[in-house]
Structure 1
Amino acid sequence: MTETVTTAEQPRQVPESGRVALVTGASRGIGYGIAEALVARGDRVCITGRDEERLKEAVERLGSDRVIGVAGKAHDEAHQALAVERVMEEFGRVDFLVNNAGTNPVFGPLAELDLAVARKVYETNVISALGFAQQTWRAWQRENGGAIVNIASVAGISASPFIGAYGMSKAAMVNLTLQLAHEFAPVVRVNAIAPAVVKTKFAQALYEGREAEAAAAYPLGRLGVPEDIGGAAAFLTSDQSDWITGQTLVIDGGIFLNAGVG
């Protein structure tokens, strides 16, 4: 496919294999699964993460000829700016942003929640996503188009006991998706993915030592794996989803089918 001149109504059209993605929080888990899916289809990818050594290892596994890593904390504005700057220097464009970086350092009822911790969760899970979206918008997407995928959670669309702070932040992520989809249209599509429990170190406390029991609650009979989310993110950043924006795709193994049962 030949590149065409870009206007506000006509984003730049290039082969999917020539596109570039920035995936935050991608040294392992869901973020890594997403980066892996995008690399597999031919994208060049920048991944971010807090741990520099783990990030380097992830870059090597993904294929260092097509992947770079930028270490830093997602909520740090300087890190957000540096990551986008590095992408533009290395690859010359940033078509896709996947906001996956997140934290959930507390487990317990909201009545006992330390408000300082609540602020940290919101800063990392929501404000950082907005910051990265602003950076990619200014650097490339405003003039050239693209897509943003925010990783939310089923905890953001239903009550989830003992992870209320996390759920509140993910509900905000769903609304952030709606707001950005409205503001960035027609050149940038913005959607979210809301997974249920996915087998990662991040979610380990929700199933460790009782995986069979946890999986039995799902009509499809298993917990999620990062590849489930990677495939969805690849779809939402592909030409096949060109008429989809402002949506939250629930990927839950059918767990919501059990709502109200019992």
Structure 2
Amino acid sequence: MTELPEPSGRAALITGASRGIGYGIAEALVARGDRVCITGRGEDALKEAVERLGSERVIAVAGKAHDPVHQAEAVERTMAAFGRVDYLVNNAGTNPVFGPLADLDLGVARKVFETNVISALGLAQQTWHAWQKDNGGAIVNIASVAGLAPSPFIGAYGVSKAALINLTQQLAHEFAPRVRVNAIAPAVVKTKFARALYEGREEEAAAAYPLGRLGVPSDVGGAAAFLTSGQSDWITGQTLVLDGGMFLNAGVG
């Protein structure tokens, strides 16, 4: 980033943000003046992301999202660097298996839930006690349209995202009125994580969307910026669907 905006005085923690959707969210928040801590598994990828985003406003903490020690470190480092953690964006996720639930290894299912659901709860607890309980803020959980309807062959992922949507509602009720908690449920976004769903057939995949294209990380970044802004002060417990109109086609054909 060549020119930094005026500082907003706010700080955010974004998980899984060295690339893809998480990076797009970090980019949107830095662009409005927030200071940001990003997390991810790869130190080199995080370092490159910090350099692109602007090291004056961004720090990184490497680790696995489901590791409680890493969660605590991420919150502690954010507080140490910025003195606050107004916004938490739970973006880290995994989808390591493709196939029917009938044959799913239960160990894999546990891994999916640890990363996609339990880590989000753990980080919400950490930020609540570190800052938000007394000072307020907002949490955004990155869910998926897979959590809103049956998702053949990625059922474990879909079930975990459905759980994350319900977790969003539970936390929104419990943390009100100090902290707003919402979710974003994207359809296919052009990232390395989702490339198996469109690589080599992007035009065909995009044809299923009334808006004629797949999502890009900045689409989710804009939505997350809105849900962590004063413009959404009367919104909590909601799931914002970003699907390019895909659900308009439900039942068609």
Give the alignment's TM-score, normalised by structure 1. Answer: 0.94
SS of corresponding position for 2:173 = helix
**One-letter code aligned to 1:236:** L
Shift of 1:109: 1.0
Work out the number of aligned pairs and report it: 248
Q: Deviations over 1:43-97 (max 9, x none)?
A: 0000000001101110111000000000000000000000000011100000000
Distance 2:100 2:52 in 1: 39
Distance 2:89 2:216 in 1: 17
Q: 1:16 to 1:67 in 2, by over 3 A?
A: closer
Equivalent of 2:112 in 121, 127, 132: 121
Equivalent of 1:173 in 146, 164, 168: 164
The aligned counterpart of 1:89 is 80
Q: 1:184 to 1:25 in 2, by over 3 A?
A: same
The aligned counterpart of 1:101 is 92
Shift of 1:111: 1.1
The aligned counterpart of 1:32 is 23
Equivalent of 2:180 in 173, 189, 198: 189
Shift of 1:16: 7.8
Is contact 1:181-1:245 (8 Å) kept? Answer: yes
Q: Deviations over 1:168-225 (max 9, x none)?
A: 0000000000000000000000000000000000001101110000000000000000
Distance 1:257 1:53 in 2: 41
Asked if 1:246 corresponds to 2:237, the answer is yes
Asked if 1:19 corresponds to 2:10, the answer is yes
Give structure 1 regions of 4+ aligned residues with deviation exceeding 6 angstroms.
none
Shift of 1:112: 1.2
**One-letter code aligned to 1:214:** A
Distance 1:23 1:240 in 2: 20
Shift of 1:154: 0.2
Distance 2:219 2:12 in 1: 18
SS of corresponding position for 1:129 = helix
Is contact 1:16-1:238 (8 Å) kept? Answer: no
Unaligned runs of 5+ in 1: 1-14
- Please report the RMSD computed on the Cα atoms of aligned residues, expressed in angstroms: 0.9
**One-letter code aligned to 1:227:** S
The aligned counterpart of 1:11 is none
SS of corresponding position for 1:214 = helix
Tell me the percent identity: 85
Unaligned runs of 5+ in 2: 1-5
Asked if 1:146 corresponds to 2:137, the answer is yes
> What pairs up with 1:52-71 in 2 under 5 angstroms?
52-71=43-62
Distance 1:199 1:168 in 2: 22
**One-letter code aligned to 2:223:** A
**One-letter code aligned to 2:212:** G
Distance 1:16 1:160 in 2: 42
Shift of 1:137: 0.2
